[in-house]
Amino acid sequence: MTVRHRREIASARRVVVKVGSSSISGDNVEKIAPIVEALAAAHARGTEVVLVSSGAIATGMPYLLLDERPSDLATQQAAAAVGQNVLIYRYQDALRPFRIVAGQVLLTAGDLENPMHRSNAKRAMERLLGLRILPIVNENDTVATHEIRFGDNDRLAALVGELIGADALVLLSDIECLYTRPPGEPGSLPIDEVAYGDDMHGYEFGSVVVNSVGTGGAATKVSAARLATASGIGVLVTSADLVARALAGDDIGTWFRPNPAPVPTSLTGPIRTTVDTLGG
């Protein structure tokens, strides 16, 4: 089905949910449980759910005795290798009471650029969903490089949504919705809905933010929303604390209306992005 309004998310056939590092690591690790509970409720309604989760590097940092996010690529890769294992365990542990099995899917930008790899990834995820497995997707940070990567997991989530023909994409953030300029600044107003093709002239989202545990920010979510809506996927941006309400179709967050005449976005431009750090 085509999800034209956020209220229709509750009855969507297939939904991609993206959660960032800051929402599930460090002091927020306990938030994994309510996020999983919301995903399980949607799963029980018959919705096919794919979770795109950052957090490998942030989760691995304490095991490497690191107090802050490493700046060198090799240590980021090492932290990701350790953290991805722990992260998947935490998700599976939280899913166990709902009798849902997680399936780990690690992708690189090259996987979605190469037609054969792309086809293999699509086939594997379709089969997982057909078996009622909950795919948990992340960038393969252990082998990703500075030059060849998605740039952030908001973009990855949009590309995964297009890959599997998702009906809706939910991008979870630290705030309830997007604002016309950074929250707290004079004149900052919440954005309820964005029509497809709206250039959002005059809005100030800032550049990509690199914090102590990950990368991202409002600008990456807007960019990912544009990518997903172009291929006909409605996008909701809201807080990770409101994930249950988001999946229930409540009137929350910022809704990006999908393109009424979808195009395959992943084939209209390069996937590769050059940045200074891995997304994790």
Binding residue ranges for ATP: 18, 173-174
Residue 203 corresponds to which tokens in the numbers above? 């809005």
Task: Kindly report the length of the chain.
Answer: 280
Which residue, 273, 267, 258, is CA-closest to 220?
273
CA separation for the pair 190, 273 (Å, rounded): 29
Burial 48-75 (b: 16+ CB within 10 A, else e): bbbbbbbbbbbbbbeeeeeeebbeeeeb
- Binding site: what residues are annotated? 18, 54, 141, 153, 173-174
List alpha helices for the chain, DSSP H. Answer: 21-24, 32-44, 56-60, 73-95, 109-113, 115-130, 153-164, 218-230, 243-247
- Binding site for substrate: what residues are annotated? 54, 141, 153
Residues 4, 98, 244, 104, Cα dihedral to 10°: -70
